[in-house]
Amino acid sequence: MPDKSTQRRELIVRTCSGREPEDRPPASDQRGRRPSADMSSEQQPGQKAIEALRNWQPSVRGGTPASGSTVTELATSGHHVVCALVACLGSCAAGTTLGYASAAMPSIEHEAWYDLHHNTAESRWFADILLLVAAPAALGAGFLLEMLGNRLMLLLSTFGLLGSWLSLLLSTGTSAILVARLMAGVFLGAISSSAGVHVAEICPSERRAFFLGFVEVAGCAGMLLAYVLGQFFTWEIQAGFCMLPPLVLMCMQRYVLDSPQWLMRHGKKAEARAALFKFYGLDVPIEFRIRSADDIAKKNSNATPIKCAKSMALALLLQLLPELSGVRLFLMRGDQVMLSLVAETESRDAEGVLMVAGHVALSGVFASLTRIAGRRHLLVLSAFITAVCMVALSPLKHASIIVFDEASKAFIRFNNECSHWTVEDRPRLTDWNGIYAISLLLASYSLGLGHVPALLATELLPGHVRCVGAGSSWAGRWFLAFLLMHEDAWLSAVASSSQGLAPGLVLVAGAMMAALVTPETESQTLLAIESIVCR
């Protein structure tokens, strides 16, 4: 069979010689008559040859000339939105570990092998160990993130989180479940350090605020997933379903790519160009242009160690603000806190789910409005309203399982015969004041404190210390969260003795200080923000 070039040559010869495509040439050509002058252009042999070439379609797709629709498809085939959502899925997977204790521990306490039924001090470690281990894990992950890159770090953390859920699912002893939770804490810290940095470095400036805020919303959505599963299933089935987010992320690993910023910092320009094409197609934003080695070195020279230390300290201050509100105690003990306020005659036990669901919904709304309202405005407004709520309504007195001792006029803990996770003595009447106080605290927290600090902390860090700075700020945040969770009785006592004034003033002062020294980052590229911070 003749090849395609031979077929095309024969087609040109036939058309140029005046023969029809069939094997029967016209009589006029056989007689040797020349075409008349008034013959139309369509009948000219040369024109027919050009038309034949224009209409000829080879059987191989690769040889087809690119059409306008093909070029449009290539120009809009970037996947940076999907890649950012996949990173948010990693945050959701980490969030399930935070909500699992409150939802699953009442079921675990019914197991015959569980030997901490009446030991409140030790049973609380099922949740506290998660935060304690996440702090050094986040710090170490910051250094590994700079060395390994976003892709490898996210995939390793997700795979480790999947292994921790599998270990918990197969646990048949108290020590085994604590080891599984320790593993979960390690990868919780790793994902929290890497997910935000990855999203910040791949999103253009006009979308960065939304997706960075959505990273925090996705973490709360993971907590909500754990609470919902706890309403219907035992702890083993809950652990099985909590494996789904990391499993889905592993299946979508083709969308987990190294950021062009990290590749350029390590001199991998060819890989950076390929990554930019995958993220944005042919329409690459100018802020992600490939920079020369001299330009990168000049930027790094402007970021002196003192300036980098200041930006890292500011990032740490921003990350500590959400924990100063005490909301973490309610989010990680939602079922226990709400059941201790709802009357025993109420048949419903989904108050914890409703509390977390409201927080997720409000956080999602305000995260989408961050670019319009402004980062610093939302931060200060949220901190001020939260402080007013802490002073006027005293919600923190409900953060710990404590009772008021009339003799000492102070709040004291229940004796060790009580379970830390199963609420055995519910009130006869619903404490609506407590429910309103907690609900308003969460609503004011959702306004900006929930997502803006992590957003700003990631944006303000210079490029060559962004990974390490993010890890150190998250390490400080997780450690403060552990202290407040483990010493919840002390926090409740301080809030009650000062009517919430002391923690409220600390929160407002920290927010005001952070807002004053934080530059405006709205619609600014990461390079422009780095120039402002390091000038």
237-287 per-position pLDDT tens digit: 999 999 999 999 999 999 999 998 898 888 888 898 888 888 888 878 877
Give yes or no for residue 531 having a pLDDT over 50.
Answer: yes
What distance lies between CA 58 and its chain's CA centroid?
47
525 contacts: CB under 8 Å, gap ≥ 6: 205, 287
Are the beta carbons of 210 and 367 closer than 8 angstroms? yes
pTM over cut 0.85: no
For 436-492, what is each residue's pLDDT tens digit?
Answer: 999 999 999 999 999 999 999 999 999 889 999 999 999 999 999 999 998 888 887
Supply φ then ψ for residue 404, to 5 degrees: -95, 120
Burial class (CB in 10 A: 0-12, 13-18, 19+), 425: exposed
531 contacts: CB under 8 Å, gap ≥ 6: 299, 302
Give yes or no for residue 46 having a pLDDT over 90.
Answer: no
Are the beta carbons of 454 and 196 closer than 8 angstroms? yes
Give yes or no for residue 99 having a pLDDT over 90.
Answer: yes
- Residue 191 CA to residue 117 CA, distance in Å, equals 32
Q: Which residues pair with 413 in a beta bridge?
A: 402
- Residue 90 CA to residue 371 CA, distance in Å, equals 23
**410 in helix, strand or coil?**
strand
From the list 403, 432, 368, the residue with the least C-alpha distance to 492 is 403
Three-point CA angle 458, 462, 463, nearest 5°? 90
Residue 189 pLDDT: 96
Residue 30 pLDDT: 45
User: How many other C-beta atoms can be found within 10 angstroms of the C-beta atom of residue 324?
Assistant: 23
Domains of the chain: 80-533 (1.20.1250.20)
What proportion of the chain, given as a percentage, has pLDDT over 70?
78
Residue 41 pLDDT: 45
- Residue 251 CA to residue 287 CA, distance in Å, equals 30
Cα dihedral angle (18, 22, 23, 25), rounded to 10 degrees? -30
Residue environment code for 360-388, b if the CB has 16+ CB neighbours within 10 A, otherwise e: bebbbebbebbbebbbbebbbbbbbbbbe
Residue 499 pLDDT: 74
